[in-house]
Structure 1
Amino acid sequence: MTSSTTPGGLARFNALEEPAAHAVLHELCASRTWAHRLLARRPYATAGDLFAQSDATMAGLTDADLAEAMAGHPPIGRPRPGDPTSSREQRGMDGASPELKAEMLELNLAYQERFGHVFLICATGLTGEQMRDAVKERIGNTPAQEREIVRTELGRINRIRLASLVEQDAPA
């Protein structure tokens, strides 16, 4: 953003009462620790400050915090009904063949059996084939390797969602 003024969405977020701001953040990421730490640093002067706090918080989340955050994400190929965010983010599976969708379901189940949580990837802009290839590649990781990849992917997802929040125009 080239303007030195606070974007409308960021100004509105800064001005929200804490319960409302917490609800907004919880929609973006299910980790209560992440939301609490972002709320504790308000107001944010710039979107960059908010993103930096999100990144720093994500880096410090415990395994339990990561598990809580992952629990808020539906499996790839099965966005939550009525949830436009997960549908938009998983758009790459929309045109997938029935065979690819079935393969993805099988891979999701195998991944979940191995790691104990859904396969998490920043799916924005990825095709169904790219998501399938990623789960195939990552299923061989150790739990420790996968936890760090998940942390990175969650950070990417949170940044995209926060950017959408701060770039929102004023309500009509």
Structure 2
Amino acid sequence: MRHAHPTRPGVPEPTLTSDTHAPCRKPGSADTPAIPAQQAHPRHTGGLVAFNAATPAEAEALLLSCCHSRRWAERVAAHRPYPTVDALLAAADEAGYDLSRAELDTALAAESSVLPHPGAPPAALTALRAAHAAYESSFGHAFVISLDGVRPGERLDQVLAGIRSRLCNEPEEERVIAADELRRLARARLAFRLAEGLTPRHSEP
């Protein structure tokens, strides 16, 4: 059964500070940063052809590099061939909604909080490490957010502001949001893998 996607109104870009104890901000408040919408990716038909022609093991390995759920990868791979990239990405979304609690836990446990932010000030990186540690202590898994469509220079701010706002959530509320972000992240990673030639890697798109 599909869960309703959390909605957040658009607001000005957050400003990064070194204060890791900023007041909690519930979704919907005036200063809560919005999670940006997915942006269109180039539709590389060559990548889709290769994915459709790959062996089950090859296809599943690539899918596991996008979301570490064996059942999710097997289900998406089993429904090949896909007529379009959009159809493949829609199937990936659909399979993500059907993960059991244990499967979602496994997928979230495989995520890493380490995100590259080249050129960021040391104080900003210190704030980010502290924020990640606080989130993991509260929820037991890495902070997951899709940064598809966010400019590189704004990603650190987006991550830090997102952690601060979501630290206020109740565990079950945050679980729904994390699951939704994981689905969006898996979709963005899969589109990226298709564009780069189906290389199974764990780097961010």
Instruction: Return the structure number with greater helix share.
Output: 1
Percent identical among aligned pairs is 34
Describe the SS at the equivalent of 1:127: helix
- Which residue in the other structure is 1:82 paired with? none
The 2-side partners of 1:106 and 1:33 are apart by: 33
Matched, 1:73 2:111: yes
Q: How does 1:130-169 map to 2 (within 5 A)?
A: 130-168=158-196
TM-score by length of 2: 0.69
Q: Does 2:74 align with 1:46? A: no
Q: Which residue of 1 aligns with 2:135?
A: 111
Given that 1:114 and 1:139 are in contact with CA atoms closer than 8 Å, whether structure 2 keeps it comes out as yes
Contact 1:10 1:165 in 2 (8 A): no
Closer, same or farther: CA 106–36 of 1 in aligned 2, 3 Å = same
Q: Quote how far apart the aligned CAs of 1:118 are.
A: 0.7
Instruction: Name structure 2 gaps, 5 residues minimum.
Output: 1-39, 200-205
Taking the TM superposition and a 5 Å limit, the aligned residue runs for 1:57-68 are 57-68=95-106
Q: Flag the 1:169–1:73 CA change in 2: closer, same or farther, 3 A.
A: closer
Aligned equivalents of 1:63, 1:100: Cα separation in 2: 34
1:129 to 157, 176, 195: 157
Higher RCO (CA 8 Å, separation ≥ 6 residues)? 2
One-letter amino acid matched to 2:144: L
Write the letter of the residue equivalent to 2:59.
A
Counterparts of 2:111 and 2:144, CA distance in 1: 8
CA RMSD of aligned residues (A): 2.2
What is the distance in 2 between the residues matched to 1:25 and 1:131? 24
C-alpha contact (below 8 Å) 2:44/2:195 kept by paired residues: no
What is the identity, as a one-letter code, of the residue corresponding to 1:152?
A: D
Instruction: Tell me the distance in 2 between the aligned counterparts of 1:72 and 1:170.
Output: 20
Structure 1 position 123, deviation (Å): 3.0
Q: Which runs of 5 or more structure 1 residues have no equivalent in the other structure?
A: 79-89
Letter aligned with residue 119 of structure 2: G
2:126 paired residue among 89, 92, 102: 102
